Structures are given as structure tokens and as C-alpha cells.
């Protein structure tokens, strides 16, 4: 049988309430019992001392007046009075029952009194009756010559406690019923957000990522609701990005494949016999295959970077050597474009990096800068190690990036000038790879640009320690 969490919570609240009521009732009854018995004990200790003082001489001389004193006093206090000798044997009974005379009551309180200390004890006698024994020593010249024992029936105390117990049981039953009702109501109130969350999760299993829940509570359940909404937004964003990625990737892959197919069909269907034309067609096919290879390579690289479990191959790298290596590779392209390429490295910083990935980052940024800088312009690569981390900059004096495009330059397949990017061989994935690489290194990247003034990409990598 499946129990909902509401019933489990209600049952837990009810059991806690019932346990508290039971423990409270037991504590109250026990406290009342002890208080009643303590009061009764104090009263009869005083009475026993009065008898011991008033009848001391008669007890010492075995006078019959001691019996009358015990009998009369016992009737007044509604108790049985026994007088014991210094051996602990009964020498006088206020009820005047001969069989008891000479008996030796073996109670701890009797032993205590004969040792000089008053005592008391609660006992059940033969007929099941509960009695309280109070025993005080009888002293003469600081010597114990006997003891006075007052035996009082305490049935009235337990009768009173039974009445109180019955009333408490009735109140507890009523309280338990109320507790069960409020426990169920409270459990329903607590589980309402969980039920709403369950109703929202079920459609998400079928792909409906638009589900949201109301999360107004300022508690853990409210936090859970807000976390669910945040997760749903992220999942929706990821799903939208995934669909856009598939669409863009399909389009980007289709373009070179369509070109290759068109060129191949032209060669197959045409009657051109000039080898120079064939070579031109084959060069075009080779170019499209290269573009397709770059696209697939970038897609695989980006996928590996986005796989969080994949480790980076970090090592202590000479940052200056990396910068010189990249600028050296790009010198020919810069010269061809008529662009000045310079670098500036402060000191000789050594940093814990994935060498191949950082080279690719700098290569992509420098390649973009050169391709978007007109002849006569300048591209500068800077590296500087500070107390808070490593700072890398790639600056150019190129055409710049419009403000509307700046928030999207790191998006996959995003191109500021789509026609020009394809013409220069761009895949639209270079800056996405740059950002993901920097993120995997625990760093950050930002871009500042003004149309006609140039662009600056700034990378901050954390302290190598």
C-alpha cells in the first residue's frame, strides 16, 4: 500500500503529539503523587514526634497511659500508632490487637529510627492496601529507648489520583483528535508545493519545458520551487540552444557539401576537356573540403571543451614563448594583409596552462583581428602577469564590432558580417572555442569595441597557484 507523504507527515505529527501528551500526563501524575505523599509524610512525622515527646516517660516506664495516648492520638489523626522498644519489637498498638505485640517489623525506616534518624516508607500489606509508615526515635538522655511508628492508609491519595488520571485521559483523547485534524491540515499545507512540483515535473518528462511553479514561500520548499524554476529556464535555454545548434550545424555542413556536389556534377556532366578548368574545379573542391574539415574539427573541439569531465593537459608554460610562437605563425598573413603585428610581454611569466588550447585561443583572436583590420592597421598581442592572475590582450585598429552584436560574439555560429566571414573561411565557432577554453581554465574574457576604432579582447586567467 502506497502512502502519500501527506499521510506520513500527518502520522508523524500525531505520534509526536501523542507521545508528548503521554509523557506529560505521566510526569504530572507522578509529580502529584510525590507531592501528596510528601505532604502526608511531613504531617505524620510531626504527629509521631508529638507522640514520642508527650509519652516518653510513660513509654520508658511501660505505663498503661502510653496506650491511651497512642489510641486517642491515633483516632484524631486517623492512623494506627505502634510503639516499639529499643530492640524494634512492638510493645503497644493503638488498635489493641494482641497478636501484634512482640512482633518485629522489618522495615528500613524502623532500622533508621532505632539508629536515631526518622524515616518513612510506602508499603503494600497483605490485603493489597497501600500504607505509609512514618517512624521516629524516642530519646532519653540522647539515647534511643524506642520508637513511635505511625501507619496511615493512603488509599484516598490514589483514589484522587485515579480521578485526575481519568480526567487527563479524556482531555488527552480530545487533544489527540484535535492534533490528528490539525496534523492532517498542516501536512496538506506543507505538501501543497510538493504536489504542485510533481504536477509540473510530469509534463517535463514528455518534453514540455515551459512548466513553472509558484514559489512564494520563504522556506526550504520555496527554495526548492525557485530552484526548479531556475532549472526549467536553463533546460529550456539548453534545449533551444541545442535545436539552434543542430539547425546551424546542418546549414553549415550543407553549404560546403552542396558546393562540392555542384562542382563534381559539373565535371561529370560537362564535356569540358581543358585540364586547366579541371584543375580549377578540383582546387575549389579541395577548398570546400578544407572548410568542411575546419568546421568538423571546430565542432569536435568545442564538444570536448564542453565535456566537464574531460581533463585539461596543463603544464608550466612560458607565456612569452607562446605569444612569440603565435605571432610568428601569423606574420605571413599579417604581411599579406598589410597589417602590422606586434607583441609585448612583461617579464617572463610562467603559468599553469594547457599549451595547445591557449595557442589556439591566441591564434583565433589574432587571426580574427588581422582579417578584420584594413591595410595599414595594427594588431598587438600583450601578456602581463599580476598579483591576481595572468592578463592577455589582443588589440586591433580594425573595423570594430557594432554594439548590438557585442553580446553575441561568443555564441556558436554567430557572425557579425556573415557573407564576409564565409568568404574569409570563418566557421562561426572560433570565439565560442575561445570562451569555453578560458572558462575551463577558470578565467574570464571580455570584449570592448567601437565601430571604426578597433576591438580589444581581454583574457584574465587565475593565479597559477
153 and 252 in a single domain? The answer is no
Pair 18, 131 in one domain: yes
- Cα 458 to the center of its chain, rounded Å: 38
Give pLDDT, residue 247. 64
Query: Within this chain, do residues 37 and 149 fall inside the same structural domain, yes or no?
Result: yes
DSSP three-state, residue 413: coil
295 and 423 together in one domain: no
Reported pTM: 0.49
Whether residue 176 is contained in a domain is answered as no
Per the CB < 8 A criterion, the answer to whether 60 and 168 are in contact is no
Find the CATH number of the domain harbouring 36. 3.30.450.20
The residue among 128, 159, 190 that closes a domain is: 159
Residues 296 and 358 in one domain: no
In angstroms, the CA 69 to CA 245 distance is: 111
Q: Is residue 277 part of a domain?
A: yes
Are 321 and 295 within one domain? Answer: no
Question: Is 419 among the domain residues?
Answer: yes
Cell match 518513612: residue? 120
Q: Residue 129 — left, alpha, or beta (φ > 0 → left; ψ -120 to 50 → alpha)?
A: beta
Residue labelled with grid coordinates 581581454: 458
Distance from the Cα of residue 101 to its chain's centroid: 76
Is 383 within the bounds of a domain?
A: yes
Check whether residue 295 and residue 361 sit in a common domain.
Answer: no
Same domain, 28 and 134: yes
In a domain, 231, yes or no: yes
Q: What is the pLDDT of residue 122?
A: 92
Q: Is residue 206 part of a domain?
A: no
Cα 123 to chain center, whole Å?
A: 56
* Same structural domain, 288 and 240: yes
Exposure b/e, 53-77, CB count within 10 A at least 16 = b: eebbebbeeeeeebbebbbebbeeb
Give strand pairing partners of 80.
151
C-alpha 316/C-alpha 311 separation (Å) is 16
- CATH number for 328: 3.30.565.10
Q: Which domain-ending residue is among 159, 181, 201?
A: 159
* Per-residue pLDDT of the chain in tens (465 residues, 90 and over written 9): 566 676 777 788 788 888 888 999 899 999 999 999 999 999 999 999 998 888 777 765 667 777 888 888 889 999 999 999 889 999 889 998 889 888 999 899 999 999 999 999 999 887 778 999 999 999 888 889 899 999 999 989 989 999 999 999 898 888 888 888 887 777 777 667 767 767 777 777 777 777 777 766 676 667 777 777 787 777 777 677 667 666 656 656 666 777 777 777 777 777 766 778 778 878 878 877 877 776 677 667 667 766 666 688 888 999 999 999 999 999 999 999 999 999 999 878 888 998 988 998 999 899 999 989 999 999 999 999 877 889 999 999 999 988 888 888 888 777 666 544 444 445 677 888 888 889 888 899 999 998 888 999 999 998 755
Q: Are strands 143-153 and 119-124 parallel, antiparallel or unpaired?
A: unpaired
Predicted pLDDT of residue 464: 59
How many domains does the chain divide into?
3
190 located within any domain:
no
- The C-alpha angle with vertex 284 and arms to 281 and 285, in degrees rounded to 5, equals 90
CATH of the domain at 265: 1.10.287.130
Q: Which of 159, 183, 204 is the last residue of a domain?
A: 159
Q: Give the pairing of strands 143-153 and 130-140.
A: antiparallel
Q: Are residues 145 and 239 in the same domain?
A: no
Give residue 286's domain range.
220-304
Same domain, 377 and 420: yes
199 assigned to some structural domain: no
Asked whether residue 19 falls in the same domain as residue 132, the answer is yes
Amino acid at each position: 500500500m502506497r502512502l502519500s507523504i501527506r499521510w506520513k507527515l500527518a502520522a508523524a505529527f500525531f505520534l509526536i503529539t501523542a507521545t508528548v501528551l503521554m509523557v506529560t500526563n505521566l510526569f504530572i501524575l507522578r509529580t502529584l503523587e510525590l507531592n501528596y505523599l510528601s505532604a502526608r509524610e511531613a504531617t505524620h512525622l510531626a504527629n509521631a514526634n508529638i507522640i514520642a515527646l508527650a509519652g516518653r516517660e510513660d513509654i520508658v516506664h511501660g505505663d498503661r497511659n502510653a496506650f491511651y495516648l497512642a489510641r486517642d492520638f491515633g483516632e484524631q489523626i486517623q492512623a494506627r500508632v505502634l510503639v516499639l522498644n529499643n530492640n524494634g519489637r512492638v510493645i503497644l498498638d493503638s488498635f489493641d490487637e494482641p497478636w501484634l505485640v512482640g512482633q518485629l517489623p522489618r522495615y528500613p525506616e524502623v532500622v533508621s529510627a532505632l539508629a536515631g534518624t526518622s524515616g518513612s516508607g510506602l508499603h503494600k500489606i497483605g490485603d493489597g492496601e497501600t500504607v505509609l509508615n512514618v517512624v521516629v526515635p524516642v530519646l532519653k538522655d540522647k539515647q534511643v529507648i524506642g520508637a513511635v511508628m505511625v501507619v496511615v492508609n493512603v488509599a484516598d491519595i490514589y483514589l484522587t489520583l485515579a480521578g485526575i488520571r481519568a480526567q487527563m485521559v479524556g482531555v488527552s483523547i480530545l487533544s489527540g483528535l484535535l492534533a490528528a485534524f490539525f496534523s492532517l491540515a498542516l501536512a496538506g499545507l506543507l505538501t501543497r508545493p510538493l504536489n504542485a512540483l510533481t504536477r509540473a515535473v510530469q509534463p517535463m518528462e514528455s518534453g514540455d519545458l515551459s512548466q513553472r511553479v509558484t514559489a512564494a514561500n520563504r522556506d526550504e520548499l520555496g527554495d526548492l520551487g525557485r530552484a526548479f524554476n531556475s532549472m526549467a529556464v536553463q533546460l529550456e535555454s539548453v534545449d533551444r540552444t541545442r535545436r539552434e545548434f543542430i539547425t546551424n550545424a546542418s546549414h553549415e555542413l550543407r553549404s560546403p557539401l552542396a558546393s562540392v556536389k555542384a562542382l563534381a556534377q559539373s565535371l561529370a556532366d560537362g564535356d569540358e576537356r581543358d585540364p586547366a578548368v579541371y584543375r580549377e574545379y578540383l582546387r575549389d573542391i579541395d577548398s570546400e573540403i578544407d572548410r568542411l574539415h575546419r568546421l568538423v574539427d571546430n565542432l569536435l573541439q568545442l564538444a570536448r571543451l564542453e565535456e566537464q569531465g574531460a581533463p585539461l593537459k596543463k603544464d608550466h608554460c612560458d607565456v612569452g614563448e607562446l605569444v612569440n610562437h603565435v605571432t610568428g605563425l601569423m606574420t605571413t598573413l599579417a604581411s599579406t594583409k598589410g597589417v602590422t603585428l606586434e607583441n609585448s610581454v612583461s617579464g617572463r611569466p610562467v603559468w599553469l596552462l594547457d599549451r595547445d588550447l591557449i595557442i589556439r585561443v591566441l591564434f583565433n583572436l589574432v587571426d580574427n583581428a588581422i582579417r578584420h583590420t584594413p591595410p595599414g592597421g595594427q594588431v598587438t598581442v600583450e601578456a602581463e602577469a599580476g598579483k591576481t592572475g595572468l592578463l592577455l590582450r589582443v588589440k586591433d585598429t580594425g573595423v570594430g564590432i557594432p554594439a548590438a552584436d557585442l553580446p553575441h560574439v561568443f555564441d556558436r555560429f554567430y557572425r557579425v558580417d556573415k557573407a564576409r566571414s564565409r568568404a574569409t573561411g570563418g566557421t562561426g565557432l572560433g570565439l565560442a572555442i575561445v570562451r569555453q577554453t578560458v572558462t575551463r581554465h577558470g578565467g574570464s574574457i571580455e570584449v570592448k569595441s567601437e565601430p571604426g576604432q578597433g576591438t580589444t579582447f581581454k583574457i584574465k586567467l587565475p593565479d597559477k597557484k
